[in-house]
Structure 1
């Protein structure tokens, strides 16, 4: 997660998180604080001299985890102007996740004892979708009961640069740097071709809250 005095950014996996993190640090006012992965620290490439203060952590804090961390820092999570969460078509997101896990397993021996990486490496995509455990997206974002105090801004991967530019304009902020394109996925571009009816049904069920909250139709 990243945050400044006004905005909180939560990074849902496989939604161009490194690119959005760099954009946030380059365009939003400091001081900026965050818990990000080692890779994101390198990609952001900014530090105290730019009023950016990062610590290495998991990088995918959900809303409840972020609330706990912020409370320990005496920051009221409901005091932000908005919570920003990039999202992605769930069918595409699952294909991208599968490709990422398999590639990482091949290239990085340190992840080979992690169940999700091993599962992706050892299975076909249909079997992976049937067996993988996916955290509920509903727990990742502010619950509906608090969104009158903390508006949720969903930023679609499919129109990422335009959506970020629009968000900046709506909140009266100047966009000083364009969205960089980092860590491009090598997933199949025609993600629909990866699916049969059974595989689609698994994704429809396991990512149901992302379809619902993100407004994505369950159609390929």
Structure 2
């Protein structure tokens, strides 16, 4: 999570979060009033950088939502599920990750828990939060333009060199087969 008095950026898993975190660390680490969670499982085993608004409010009563704009990355469902599958297979190759589950929106977490994409959406975007009308989506497929439009209201986005936006980060090894990929998009 990255936030200041104007916005809260939520790190929705597998949606270019590492890229956003990297850009903020590199270009805005000294911005007054900007708070950026440490992204490091060794120093933060609770992975607070993935907190939803509700989780953060429960953890820290001093954290406030107020009138802040909530900016959250999102990506198309097949792409998100495939990325999640590749990520979880890499974290737990000993488990029986079944790619056919993705057709139903389900995937196996590294913990062995069978999860569903809807659980993540409900966690990050509960109706009560959406009803506030302050949620904006940074589409991974439109990353540069959305980043500039959404964050440009609050920070000087022009200090980021254009080529930074085309560099990908934290890419999971592709374990989902080409045949399965084409089926996922049918």
Same fold per superposition (TM over 0.5): yes
Indicate whether 1:65 and 2:48 are aligned: no
Higher helix share: 1
Unpaired segments ≥5 residues, structure 2:
109-113
Cα displacement (A) at 1:124: 2.4
Identify which of 133, 138, 142 aligns with 1:155.
138
Distance 1:123 1:173 in 2: 41
Which residues of 2 match residues 35-74 of structure 1 at below 5 A?
35-38=37-40, 56=44, 57-58=46-47, 59-70=49-60, 72=61, 74=62
Residue 75 to residue 60, structure 1, CA distance change in 2 (3 Å): closer
Residue 22 to residue 123, structure 1, CA distance change in 2 (3 Å): closer
Cα displacement (A) at 1:69: 3.4
Q: 3-state SS of the aligned residue for 2:131?
A: helix
Distance 2:13 2:81 in 1: 10
Indicate whether 1:138 and 2:122 are aligned: yes
Instruction: Give the match for residue 44 of structure 1.
Output: none
- How many pairs are equivalent? 163
Cα displacement (A) at 1:162: 1.9
- Superposed CA RMSD in Å reads 2.9
Instruction: Give the match for residue 96 of structure 1.
Output: 83
Residue 130 to residue 182, structure 1, CA distance change in 2 (3 Å): closer
Cα displacement (A) at 1:130: 6.9
User: Which has the higher mean CA deviation after the structures are superposed, 94-103 or 2-11?
Assistant: 2-11
Q: 3-state SS of the aligned residue for 1:99?
A: helix
Contact 1:10 1:60 in 2 (8 A): yes
Which residues of 2 match residues 12-31 of structure 1 at below 5 A?
12-25=12-25, 26-27=27-28, 29-31=31-33
Distance 1:103 1:37 in 2: 19
Distance 1:67 1:189 in 2: 40
Alignment TM-score, normalising by the size of structure 2: 0.72
Contact 1:125 1:194 in 2 (8 A): no
